């Protein structure tokens, strides 16, 4: 399931898609996932999306808004909140730090 989530990190979490792909109840899968990896499906998927966003911000000329829409976040503001929660800094600070390192 972790591989499936990594492959679909550019999409919103689709519980119905997971349910039909693995042909199991989502709550059951969620319980197994948390027991094996120590995190929820949602948190794992969210982290994968933000790691992909960090790659895009670092390796492309896409701006924050473009990256947020490319990864199907509801809005750039929501994307920024999630990015800061996962990475510990805002997307704009992340970009500034990349250029500072170069």
Neighbour count for residue 5 (Cβ, 10 Å): 20
Q: Helix (H, G, I), strand (E, B), or coil: what is residue 88? A: coil
| Residue scoring higher pLDDT (67 or 9) | 67
The pLDDT score that the predictor gives to residue 101 is: 65
pTM listed for this prediction: 0.85
**Mean pLDDT to the nearest integer, 93-99:** 87
Distance between CA 55 and CA 21 in Å, rounded? 27
| 53 CB neighbour count, 10 Å cutoff | 26
Q: What is the DSSP string of 7-67?
A: HTTTS---HHHHHHHHTS-HHHHHHHHHHHHSS-HHHHHHHHHHHHHHHHHHHSS--HHHH
Encode pLDDT of 32-85 as tens digits: 999 999 999 999 999 999 999 999 999 999 999 999 999 999 999 999 999 999
Can you give the pLDDT at residue 102?
53
Place of tokens 């794992």: 44
């Amino acid at each position: 399931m972790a591989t499936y989530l990594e492959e679909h990190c550019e999409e919103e979490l689709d519980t119905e898609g997971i349910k039909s792909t693995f042909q199991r109840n989502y709550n059951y899968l969620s319980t197994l996932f948390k027991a094996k990896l120590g995190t929820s499906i949602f948190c794992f998927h969210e982290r994968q999306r933000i790691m992909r966003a960090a790659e895009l911000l670092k390796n492309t000329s896409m701006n924050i808004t473009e990256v947020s829409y490319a990864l199907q976040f509801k809005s750039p503001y929501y994307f920024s909140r999630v990015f800061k929660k996962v990475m510990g800094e805002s997307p704009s600070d992340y970009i500034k730090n990349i250029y500072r390192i170069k």
